[in-house]
Every structure is written in structure tokens, then in C-alpha cells.
Amino acid sequence: MLYRSSKPMRFNTVPISSSILRIGATLPASVATSERSFSSLRRLKTYLRNKTGEERLNGLTLLNVHRDIEVNCEDILNIMAKA
């Protein structure tokens, strides 16, 4: 009875749902990576506060954040030797 007495909807829900899904797809699933980056930067800055420049500090931060990636030193030396 309530359904019959209500006015029909005047908007299409598909474009609204599409917009909501697009916005939801841009949101990160987790903030762990950014939190890890900030905590690493804070730890490095307290230890190396006055001893390093910004370029070196950025490099050390990247090394610390991506420490789970295995690096072959021999490959790096070969690349550096070719340059």
C-alpha cells in the first residue's frame, strides 16, 4: 500500500551508483604504506637530524621503506660500471 501511494522517483540511480563506485575505487585500501613511510622518516630524522642533507635522507628513507625487496649487489655494480 505504501509503495502505491509514494511518488515515483525522479532521478536515475545508475549514474549515482557509478559515481560512488568511482570515488570508492580511488580510495586506498590501506594506509599502512604511508604510515610506514612516515614512521621511517621520523626514526631516520631523529637519528640523522643534523648529519645528512635532504637528498641522502630521501635515499635512506626509500631504502628503509622498501627493505623487503632483495637487491643483488653484483647487478648494481655492473649497472654502475656501464654508466
Q: What is the pLDDT of residues 16-68, one digit of tens each?
A: 777 787 887 777 666 666 677 777 777 776 665 666 677 877 888 888 888 88
Single pTM value for the model: 0.30
- The H-or-E segment that residue 20 falls in is helix 13-26
